[in-house]
Amino acid sequence: MTTALKAPPLGPMLDDIVRGHRPHRVSGSVPANIPLLAAVPFNRFGIAVATASGEVFSSGDADVPFSIQSISKVFTLAMALRGDSSGTLWSRVLREPSGTSFNSLVQLELEHGIPRNPFINSGALVVTDHLMEETSDAATQVLRFLTAQAASTGPFIDEAAAAGELAGSSRNLALAHFLKDFGNLNRTAESVVENYVRQCSIMMTCVELAKAGLFLARDGRGARGTVVSPSDAKRIGSIMLTCGMYDAAGEFAYRVGLPGKSGVGGGILVIVPGECAICVWSPRLDAKGNSLAGTAALADLSDRTGWSVF
């Protein structure tokens, strides 16, 4: 259950969290297959909180753009659900924790081409394919959506980074062809992976991401009106809580107790239902692929504020 924040005030608290959690020496890892991500200085750390009442608090490198990577999956899912008048999306992807690595083909084979949830790579490819039914350039649509929600012209697709990441996308191409083989992909494998990689290569700041994710804390109401229904907003939150942190969803729920979604760019988006959206960013990752300093900072923030859904 969330507890209303009394004191201390949020601004100084975020400053304190930046002081306590910004890395002082190199630890953790960076994704081996995405060269540009490895070039980010290890000691970057930013945090932003966008509240339901319209305030934004931030500290550290909260205005430095970073690659949102898998955090994009939250927004493509919301867009797909918004447009899913036929209600077919949930016949193509499940909503269960996977218990396996985010890019594993094993479970996909055992379950005949139906991904376990929209946040593992195979599931996100299906969601992207679903979005492409409306427009073949789904990545640009996602960018427009984020720009509108963040009320900022800052977000952009780093096309050079996307091209570099695409060159190392053999695993995602394998997943996409595998989905195609099971009949669970309408567009070509190559075009879906390209759109997926470009979505992941969107660059945003902590402040922009917190604002963009706020609709999930506000029963689906975003910057320009309803994004998704209240029940879909709750449901996206439930999927974030059970599936949002790769193979460490249980550990994150245990330590932080809030719906979250991480990306290998080092960002984590967290929702406090009814209260606020939080984005933290620090580039070095733990063994499960989640931001090392970011996860620790969120646990700290949860302890200090009492924010937890439990």
Beta carbon nearer to a second copy, 12 or 183:
183
Task: Give the CA distances from residue 205 to residues 104, 187, 278, in Å, rounded to whole numbers and listed in that order.
Answer: 30, 31, 12
118 vs 155, beta carbon nearer a second copy: 118
Q: Output 105 or 114, the one with its CB closest to a second copy.
A: 105
- Binding residues for a second copy, rule: CB under 8 A, are 1-2, 94-100, 104-107, 109-110, 116-117, 170-171, 173-178, 180-181, 189, 233-235, 237-239, 241-243, 247-251, 253-254, 257, 259, 273-275, 308-310
Is 270 flagged in the annotation as binding? no
Catalytic residue chosen out of the listed positions 196, 262, 280, 282: 196
SS3 call for 115: coil
User: Is 184 known as a binding-site position?
Assistant: no
Q: Which long-range contacts (CB under 8 A, 24 or more apart) does 236-241 make?
A: 236/74, 236/77, 236/78, 236/81, 237/271, 237/273, 238/95, 239/77, 239/95, 239/117, 239/118, 239/119, 240/74, 240/119, 240/271, 241/309
Is 72 known as a binding-site position?
Answer: no
Q: Would you call 196 a catalytic residue per the annotation?
A: yes
Q: Which residue among the candidates 58, 59, 67, 70 is catalytic per the annotation?
A: 70
Residue 124 C-beta: closest distance to a second copy, Å: 16
73 is catalytic: yes
In terms of Cα–Cα distance, which of 77, 92, 70, 36 is closest to 247? 70
Active site residue 254: no
Token reading at 4? 């209303």
264 is catalytic: yes
Cα 255 to Cα 48, 260, 297: the distances in Å are 20, 12, 11
In whole angstroms, the minimum distance from the beta carbon of 26 to a second copy comes to 26
Please indicate whether residue 126 is annotated as part of the active site: no
Residue with Cβ nearer a second copy (84 or 137): 84
* Residues identified as active-site: 70, 73, 196, 246, 264
